[in-house]
Amino acid sequence: MNDERMDRILLGPGPSDCHPDVLRAMASPLLGHLDPAFLAIMNETRERLRALFQTRHSLTLAMSGTGSAGMETLMVNALEPGDKIVVGINGLFGERMADVAARTGAEVIPVRAPWGRILEPEQVRDVLRAHRRVKALAVVHAETSTGVWQPLEDLSRLAREHEALFLVDAVTSLGGVPVQVDDFGVDGCYSGTQKCLGAPPGLSPVTLSPRFEEVLSKRRTKVQSWYLDLTMIRQYWGEERFYHHTAPVTMVYALHAALGLILEEGLERVFRRHLLNGRALQAGLEAMGLKLFAQEGHRLPQLTAVWVPEGVRDEEVRGRLLREYGIEIGGGLGEVKGRIWRLGLMGHSSRRRNVMLLLAALEQILGEAGHPVERGAACAAAEEVYQKSASPDDR
């Protein structure tokens, strides 16, 4: 597997590049899943996850599946047949939440906004008022399909007023922008390892509040998924160390190392780095005459969706980036398939050199594809963002 095709720069919606230390960690020999040395790594990983989620929740751990398994974990543990859940849908992952939730036998009440726009608190308020005994409100913090950054504070307050659990998809936000689980009053939150955390896909960090644990302890039925049943899994991650399933040891090494790098850099600096690189990229794209997809004021820095310009063929551009530069970017999903690109600057991929390279490469390819570009304008616009940045740290 050592040919040139293996040497990519991952600037799509995930996975992102792993730091060499993370790759090296995975080459470590295995430990058994009940070995005291491994349990020490698990404990440290759990502490590091709490730091990332900015929470003191006791029930914080990594599920043995990708981010979608984390989504399903929250749904199958929170919901029982006949329960009601309000799900915010303004992109593919909101739609997925609704699908997953409906499979529990719960009644799903959708609140919709157009793709690319946030959910407004007023909409959510009206829906919550119109239904009695809603058990949970679920929204996506960072919509990977659109690049929208959803504000959480008002929604959290509404959930609390209606005594509903507040569930949040932080797959693409955790480690890129603040996910203040305790401050935001989030009762259930899940993420993925392959976005801003900078580890490979394969684990889903989750954190659950005492309110969520109470719901869990009051269930009338067994959790429908054995594999994702937190009533059992928490006994393995907890002091009991009760065997449930064999933990994905190597993936835990990777997550442990990746979280260590983030905390060493410092959360504030990590967020500033993501913000700065994202804003520089967005300035460059606009200087190239491209239109950003997500609503202004609510654009994620770590994932930028941009319209494919008139007259340019989506797949040709992505194919050339991959073949000629080894750069992967993402295409659109669902209703915007073929019409947008998704550019990720997540984790170790969020670097100034990647911003400059991507802008230069895009300028070249779009120019040749007939899109009018002023050569050098994109990089200059990005550079201006970097220059304006106060801190020399941010480079």
Contacts with its own copies by CB under 8 A lie at: 1-3, 5-8, 10, 12, 14-18, 23-33, 35-37, 41, 64-69, 71-72, 96, 99-100, 103-104, 192, 194, 200-202, 222-228, 243-251, 253-254, 256-257, 322, 328, 333
Residue 2: both structure tokens together: 């050592």
Q: Which is nearer to its own copies, 28 or 43 (CB)?
A: 28
Q: How far is the CB of 115 from its own copies (least distance, A)?
A: 16
Which residues lie below 8 Å from residue 260, measured CB to CB, with a gap of 6+? 48
Q: Which helix (H) or strand (E) holds 260?
A: helix 249-265
Q: Is the Cα dihedral 63, 69, 71, 76 positive or negative?
A: negative
Q: Is the Cα dihedral 6, 11, 14, 20 positive or negative?
A: positive
Residue type, 183: D
Residue 125: both structure tokens together: 């308020």
DSSP labels for 35-93? -HHHHHHHHHHHHHHHHHHT---SEEEEESS-HHHHHHHHHHHH--TT-EEEEEESSHH
Peptide bond connecting 15 to the previous residue in cis, omega within 30 degrees of 0: yes
Q: Which is nearer to its own copies, 153 or 315 (CB)?
A: 315
Among residues 333, 334, 358, the alpha carbon closest in space to that of 344 is found at 358
Query: Buried (b) or exposed (e) across 252-273, using 16+ Cβ within 10 A?
Result: bbbbbbbbbbbeeeeeeebbbb
Q: Rounded to whole angstroms, how far apart are CA atoms 102 and 123?
A: 21
Q: How far is the CB of 257 from its own copies (least distance, A)?
A: 8
Q: Which is nearer to its own copies, 55 or 172 (CB)?
A: 172
Q: How far is the CB of 261 from its own copies (least distance, A)?
A: 13
Q: Which is nearer to its own copies, 101 or 127 (CB)?
A: 101
Q: Evaluate whether 175 touches 184 at the Cβ level (below 8 Å).
A: no
Q: How far is the CB of 4 from its own copies (least distance, A)?
A: 9
Q: Which is nearer to its own copies, 24 or 313 (CB)?
A: 24
Q: How far is the CB of 334 from its own copies (least distance, A)?
A: 10
Q: How far is the CB of 204 from its own copies (least distance, A)?
A: 10
Q: Helices 153-161 & 121-130, crossing angle to 10 degrees?
A: 10
Q: What are phi and psi of 234, to 5 degrees?
A: -65, -20
Q: How far is the CB of 70 from its own copies (least distance, A)?
A: 9
Q: Which is nearer to its own copies, 68 or 389 (CB)?
A: 68
Q: Which is nearer to its own copies, 27 or 390 (CB)?
A: 27
Q: Which is nearer to its own copies, 149 or 190 (CB)?
A: 190
Q: Which is nearer to its own copies, 32 or 82 (CB)?
A: 32
**Helix, strand, or coil here: 176?**
coil
Q: How far is the CB of 69 from its own copies (least distance, A)?
A: 5
Q: What are phi and psi of 46, to 5 degrees?
A: -65, -40
Q: How far is the CB of 192 from its own copies (least distance, A)?
A: 7
Largest CA distance in the chain: 64
Q: Is the Cα dihedral 360, 286, 305, 337 positive or negative?
A: negative
